Structure 1
Amino acid sequence: MSLDYLWQITGPMLEGAKTTVLLFFLAIITSIPLGFVFTLMVRSHVKPIAWFANGYIYVLRGTPLLLQMLFICFGLPVIPVIGEYLVMDRFAAAALAFTLNYAAYFAEIFRGGLLAIDKGQYEAAQVLGLGRWHTMTRIVLPQMFRIALPAVSNESITLVKDTALLYAVAVPELLHFAQTAVNRDFTIVPFIVAGVIYLFMTLLLTLLFKALERKFKFE
C-alpha cells in the first residue's frame, strides 16, 4: 500500500463525503425544528392534533429509516393518479426521509426534556407575572435544551452514520466510492479510509456538543 494509492482512493471518497455532509446539515436544520413542533402538538389540548402527532412519532420511530427512504423514493411515484406528481430526485427523497424520521426522534427527546422540568418552574414564572410566551422562551426552553443536549448529540452522531443509507438508493456518497474501490482493487483499505473519515466527522461533532454542554452547564 503506497501513499499514491491512498491519495488516489481518498480523493473520490472526500468528494462523496461532501454529499454526506450536505445530507447531514439538511436533515439537522430541518428535523430539529420540526421535531419541536411535533413535541408541542403532542402536548396540545386539541385531541385530534395530539393523536396525529403521537401516531406520526409511533410510525416513524417504529419502522426502519431505510424502508421510509425506499417508500418515498420508489413507492410514492407508483401511487395511482397522484404518483406522477410525487416523483423526486433521489437525494431530495432521501433528505425528506431523513428529516421526517429524525423529527420523530427529536420530538421524543424534546418531550422528555420538557417532562424533566419541575412544575415549580411554571408556578414561579406565574408568581413573577410572566406570560406563557415569556415563560416558555426565558425559563422552559433553555432548561429543556440543556437537558436534551446529550441525547441530541447522540442522535446527531447516529445521523452521520445513517447517511451511508444513501448507498441503497444509488446516490454516490462516501460509502459508495469506498465500495467501488474495494470491488475494483480487491482490498479492504478503502473501507478503512472510509471508517477514518466517518470517525473524523463524528469527532468534530462530539467536540462541538461537548463545548455546548460545558457552556450550558456553567450558565
Structure 2
Amino acid sequence: MSFIFQTIWEIFKSLPNTIIISLVAMTVGLSVGTLFAIIQIRKTPIFSQLIIVYNSFIRSTPLIIQLFILYYGIPNLILYLNATLGLKINPDMFSPMLIALIAFSLHAIAYLSETMKSGLLSVDYSQIEAAKTVGLSNRHIYTRIVLPQAFNYALPNIENQFIMLIKGTSLAFAVQVTEIMAVSRIIANEGYQFITVYSIAAAFYWILAIILEKVFHKIESNSTNHLSTQSSI
C-alpha cells in the first residue's frame, strides 16, 4: 500500500504541469482560434487562405511530430540566426515546458478555429442584419450578439477539445516535460509495477475529465440562461 500512496503523491505533484499546459493551450487556442474563424468567415484575402493551409497541416499531422519539430527546430533556428545575423539569443531560454506550451497552443488554435467557425455559422444571420439596421457597429455586433451565441453553440465541442488537450499532454514527456505520464513512466520503470502505476495515472486523467465536464455543464447552463434572458428583453 505504501507504494500506491507514494505513487499517487508523486503523480499528484506533476499535476500542475498537466493543468498549466492544458489551460494555456486552451486559452490561446480559443482566443486566436476565434479570430481565425472570423477571418475565414469574412473571407479576408490571403489571410483566410493561409489559415486554411495552417489548419490543414496541424490537423493532419501527429501532435508528437509537431512537438519534435519545435523541440529540435527552435534551438537550431536560433543558432542559425545567431551565426548569420550576429545575434546573441540564448537557445536555452526555450525550455521544454515553454516549447510544450507553444506546440499545444498551436495545435489547439487549429482545432478551435474550426469549432468556433461552426459556432459562428450557426448564428442566425437575420440577427446581424437587424443589428445593422439599428446602427450597431461590427464590433458591437460581434461582441454582444454573434460571439456569445457562437460560444454557446460551440460549447460541447470546446469541452471535447479541452478533454482531448488534457489527454494529449501525456505526449509532453517526449520533450522532457515532467507531467503525469512522464512521472508515471519513471515510477513504473523503477518499480516494475506497470499496471498499478498506469492505472493510477489513468484515474488522474479520468478525475480531471469528470471535473471538466461538471465545470462546462455549469458554464453551459449559465450561458443558456443568460442568452434566454437577453432574448426575452
Note the alpha carbon deviations across 1:56-78, whole angstroms, 9 max, x for none: 11111121111111100112333
Task: Return the alpha-carbon distance in structure 1 between the equivalents of residues 59 and 16 of structure 2.
Answer: 27
Task: Return the alpha-carbon distance in structure 2 between the equivalents of residues 195 and 10 of structure 1.
Answer: 11
Task: Return the alpha-carbon distance in structure 2 between the equivalents of residues 83 and 17 of structure 1.
Answer: 36
Specify the alignment match of 2:204 in structure 1: 197
Give the Å deviation of 1:143. Answer: 0.7
Task: Return the alpha-carbon distance in structure 2 between the equivalents of residues 83 and 108 of structure 1.
Answer: 37
Identity %: 27
Instruction: Name the aligned partner's letter for residue 17 of structure 2.
Output: T
Give the Å deviation of 1:51. Answer: 1.2
Task: Return the alpha-carbon distance in structure 1 between the equivalents of residues 112 and 90 of structure 2.
Answer: 26
Structure 2 residue runs without a partner (length 5+) = 84-88, 227-233
Specify the alignment match of 1:153 in structure 2: 159
Give the Å deviation of 1:45. Answer: 4.4
Instruction: Name the aligned partner's letter for residue 81 of structure 2.
Output: I
| Mapping for residues 55-66 of structure 1, pairs under 5 Å | 55-66=53-64
> Is 1:207 aligned to residue 205 of structure 2?
no
Specify the alignment match of 2:80 in structure 1: 81
Give the Å deviation of 1:18. Answer: 1.6
Give the Å deviation of 1:157. Answer: 0.6
Give the Å deviation of 1:214. Answer: 1.3
Task: Return the alpha-carbon distance in structure 2 between the equivalents of residues 30 and 124 of structure 1.
Answer: 32
Task: Return the alpha-carbon distance in structure 1 between the equivalents of residues 28 and 224 of structure 2.
Answer: 26
Give the Å deviation of 1:47. Answer: 1.3
Question: Could you say if the C-alpha distance between residues 83 and 21 of structure 1 is closer, same or farther in structure 2, counting changes exceeding 3 Å?
Answer: farther
Structure 1 residue runs without a partner (length 5+) = none
Q: Secondary structure at the match of 1:47?
A: coil
| Mapping for residues 91-110 of structure 1, pairs under 5 Å | 91-110=97-116
Task: Return the alpha-carbon distance in structure 2 between the equivalents of residues 182 and 45 of structure 1.
Answer: 51
| Mapping for residues 17-166 of structure 1, pairs under 5 Å | 17-79=15-77, 81-82=80-81, 85=89, 87=91, 88-166=94-172
Specify the alignment match of 1:167 in structure 2: 173
Task: Return the alpha-carbon distance in structure 2 between the equivalents of residues 83 and 38 of structure 1.
Answer: 32
Task: Return the alpha-carbon distance in structure 1 between the equivalents of residues 116 and 136 of structure 2.
Answer: 22
Instruction: Name the aligned partner's letter for residue 11 of structure 1.
Output: W
Task: Return the alpha-carbon distance in structure 1 between the equivalents of residues 114 and 67 of structure 2.
Answer: 21
Q: CA RMSD in A?
A: 1.8
Q: Secondary structure at the match of 1:82?
A: helix
Specify the alignment match of 2:6 in structure 1: 8
Task: Return the alpha-carbon distance in structure 1 between the equivalents of residues 70 and 40 of structure 2.
Answer: 25
